[in-house]
A and B are shown apart, each in its own frame.
Chain A
Amino acid sequence: MTVAALPETTARRRRSPLTEAIRRHPTVTAGLAIMAVLVAMAVLAPYLWTIDPMKLDPRFRLKPPSERNWFGTDHLGRDLYSRVIYGSRVSLQVGLAVAVVATLIGTAIGLVAGFLRWVDALVMRVMDGLMAVPGVLLAIALMALTRASLETVVIAIVIPEVPRVVRLVRSVVLTLREQAFVEAAEAIGTRFHRVLAKHILPNAVAPLIVQATYICASAMILEAILSFLGAGTPPTIPSWGNIMAEGRQYVRVAFWLLGFPGLFLTLTVLAVNLLGDGLRDMLDPRMRRRL
């Protein structure tokens, strides 16, 4: 061994874990980085040179982006930059809430359907029915029934998203139930809840995390669509969909009212999708070359 070769190998070994992670999982890193910036933006909104997003200023209506109003102003003279920054709170909250709630409910239903055969047939027919109706349509129909609030928006989006989780969990359960290690565990008298906690759920976690990420992305788009159509987040809350709904009639004269919120929404959903794609590759290397 030559002496000169030594420093090189140690340098290689000493590469920081962060650089190593970036090199191995560029997609996850990119998604996480954009998400981190967006979350910081949402949390720190009051300190990011914003003003009250509801403050009217009739003297400055429909003004293009300038030094005074970085993203321009809307038809009531409200500062678009402040509204877009505060709007990130709605998208992130709804995305996260829907992903968590839909995953929990879907997992519960999926487990029951996977284990109890007589429930399975019934549950899956209901899920097929829910899946035959486009998610947007189902959500707006549900919204038409209730008074608009952030909670009702979350519920209206959770319902069309649940079948995706149910199908996933059920298929995992059905595959695992036939496996030798589960049969063995049952044969030696392991209690049901222990089989569930020790053998079934751990195997479902990886695909569930990936699915939850995609649900989060889809929920953000759905929230914006609902708000845009006038059946979502109350207009008093500045959400990206609401800003675009109010700006739509000014598409010819004030495109910034649609462009800026649209850009931020796309960027946010893109970050979540990148995270989902990256996590899928990371957690299931077999899928890596496929999708």
Chain B
Amino acid sequence: MYAFMARRLLASIPVIVVVAAFVFLLLHIAPGDPAAIIAGDIATEAQIQSIRVRLGLDQPLHVQFFQWAAHLVRGDLGTSIFSNLPVSRLIGQRLEPTIALTVLTMIFAIVVAVPIGVIAAWRAGTWIDRSIMGFAVLGFSVPVFALGYFLIWVFAVRLEVLPVQGYQPLSAGLGKFLESILLPSLALGIVYIALIARMTRASMIEVLSQDYVRTAHAKGLSQLPILLIHALKPASVPIVTTIGIGVALLLGGVVVTESVFNIPGLGRLTVDAILHRDYPVIQGVILVFAVIYLAINLAVDLIYTVLDPRIRY
């Protein structure tokens, strides 16, 4: 187990290196002078020159890269051009709302999606199955921000049962926290629910056609234990894979959802950074998101061994 974890961690390193190299090059592959891009449209030559020196852009590319990478390894993500604060501190301040939103949405989505996927597979071909799958296609098609505003309009503007926007940290009390995060989770979760429900149904249909499931029926077991014990457990490996892959979708949605609901998380930090062309922050955030994605997929791989004892690494 530990050997597997070590190997799996080592395998993530090349991916991180690629992401880091890409993030570094991002500023240099763009047409034009990066310093001029950062300075914006109304900047004097002297301002551009000072940015160039401050970011070390006047040095050769490979020197810049190694300097940047050396800082990175020490956890130094640079300094924000806009606010002059260390990027790692800015990210640290914004981490809580994003993690709260992501984790809550994941839990909420799995709790909803797996049961409806199981029901769709159990009742495959009936109107129940068709309406669940119809809902899933719709869930894939509605953009998160459109759904977000629709929910705000229904629940906050018309019914006035929930706050319009804003975020209350967990320290403000569980009730307030949940109230502020409910609509964002709902908006963000739909795509993820659609994805997991479809995979659950597909995987369950395959397992339900197996001989041992028929045997279980034949020996007189009732429906529920067959669905949950005989079928869902072996069907869960592809479902868990989808949950892992879908995290990229979820993290992308977080950026948008935070803008819609005014949640001061990493997503808002990114959007603000882009509007200010604050490149060190953009680079830092992309790296952090990539690390979160890899960490969750590492966790998914570990869950495999629990779900399917035949999988040995």
Contacts and interface: CB of A to CB of B under 8 A. Distances in A.
Interface of A: 125-126, 128-138, 140-146, 217, 221, 224-225, 228-231, 244, 248, 251-252, 255, 258-259, 261-263, 265-266, 269-270, 273-274, 277, 289-291
Interface string B246-289: 00110111011001100000000011001101010010011001
A277 B251 contact: no
A266 B146 contact: yes
B157 A145 contact: no
A251 B270 CA distance: 23
A128 B149 contact: no
Q: Which 4 A-B pairs have the closest CB atoms?
A: A129-B18, A262-B146, A134-B252, A145-B30
A134 B255 contact: yes
B143 A134 contact: no
B255 A137 contact: yes
Contacts of B24: none
8 contacts: A125-B18, A129-B21, A133-B19, A135-B248, A137-B252, A137-B285, A225-B145, A289-B124
Chain B contact surface mostly: helix
Contacts of B274: 140-141, 143-144, 229, 231
Interface stretch (B78-86, B133-141, B216-224): B133-141
Contact of B251 (A128, A129, A137): A137
Contacts, number: 154
A144 B277 contact: yes
Given A125-B18, A132-B248, A255-B157, A140 B270 contact: yes
Nearest to B194: A273
B164 A252 contact: yes
Contact of B137 (A130, A252, A277): A277
Contacts of A136: 252-253, 255-256
Given A137-B286, A142-B26, 18 more contacts: A125-B15, A132-B293, A133-B19, A133-B22, A134-B293, A135-B248, A137-B252, A140-B255, A145-B37, A231-B274, A244-B145, A248-B260, A251-B149, A251-B164, A255-B149, A262-B143, A262-B147, A289-B205
Contacts of A289: 124, 205
Contacts of B255: 134, 136-137, 140, 229
Interface of B: 14-15, 17-19, 21-22, 26-27, 29-31, 37, 124, 137-138, 140-147, 149-150, 152-153, 157, 164, 198-199, 201-202, 205-206, 248-249, 251-253, 255-256, 259-260, 270-271, 274-275, 277, 279, 282, 285-286, 289-290, 293-294
Contacts of A225: 143-145, 256
A143 B275 CA distance: 10
Nearest to A135: B252
Contacts of A266: 138, 141-143, 146
Contacts of A274: 137
Nearest to B256: A225
B247 to A, nearest CB: 9
B19 A144 contact: no
Nearest to B137: A273
A270 B138 contact: yes
A249 B227 CA distance: 48
A262 B201 CA distance: 29
B234 to A, nearest CB: 16
A174 B277 CA distance: 42
Given A132-B294, A259-B153, A140 B271 contact: yes
A41 B77 CA distance: 48
Given A262-B146, A270-B141, A290 B206 contact: yes
A42 to B, nearest CB: 18
Most A C-beta atoms less than 10 A away, residue of B18, B31, B275, B285: B18
A138 B248 contact: no
A258 B290 CA distance: 32
A228 B206 contact: no
B18 A128 contact: yes
Most B C-beta atoms less than 10 A away, residue of A136, A255, A266, A277: A136
